[in-house]
Amino acid sequence: DVKVTQSSRYLVKRTGEKVFLECVQDMDHENMFWYRQDPGLGLRLIYFSYDVKMKEKGDIPEGYSVSREKKERFSLILESASTNQTSMYLCASSLGRRSTEAFFGQGTRLTVV
């Protein structure tokens, strides 16, 4: 069974902390994504990566960075967490072909206090 695994289901962090959200996929997919989900706004793309060490900004990259040192792992970094980054974060991966779906992790609900 294919799997995308996010390191935490729930996280509570303090304002100003550096936060790491980790994501691992076991499908040998080229593409990996980080989305942010907020009520009424749907899923918004933060960053995506189409290869190791390669990354592209999505629609809302401000305040975030990413790292992809190995094909199976894609990390989202909040350099200095702020309360407006309280949200649900979803990691996904895909094969990179038009007809193939994206596979999602279980999501990380981050609260910044």
Partner 1 sequence: AQKITQTQPGMFVQEKEAVTLDCTYDTSDPSYGLFWYKQPSSGEMIFLIYQGSYDQQNATEGRYSLNFQKARKSANLVISASQLGDSAMYFCAMSYTGNQFYFGTGTSLTVIP
**Using CB under 8 A as the criterion, which residues of the chain lie in contact with partner 1 when the complex forms?**
31, 33, 35, 40-45, 48, 50, 88, 90, 92, 94-107, 109
Q: Is 75 or 89 the residue whose CB approaches partner 1 more closely? A: 89
Residue 20 to residue 102: CA distance in whole angstroms:
22
Give 113's contacts (C-beta < 8 A, 6+ positions apart).
12, 13, 14, 15, 83
Q: How far is the CB of 53 from partner 1 (least distance, A)?
A: 16
Q: Is 10 or 14 the residue whose CB approaches partner 1 more closely? A: 10
Q: Is 15 or 111 the residue whose CB approaches partner 1 more closely? A: 111
Q: Where are the beta strands (DSSP E) in 1-113?
A: 4-6, 10-13, 19-25, 31-38, 42-51, 54-57, 64-70, 73-78, 87-94, 103-104, 108-112
Q: How far is the CB of 78 from partner 1 (least distance, A)?
A: 19
Q: How far is the CB of 66 from partner 1 (least distance, A)?
A: 15
Residue 60 to residue 50: CA distance in whole angstroms:
18
Q: How far is the CB of 50 from partner 1 (least distance, A)?
A: 6
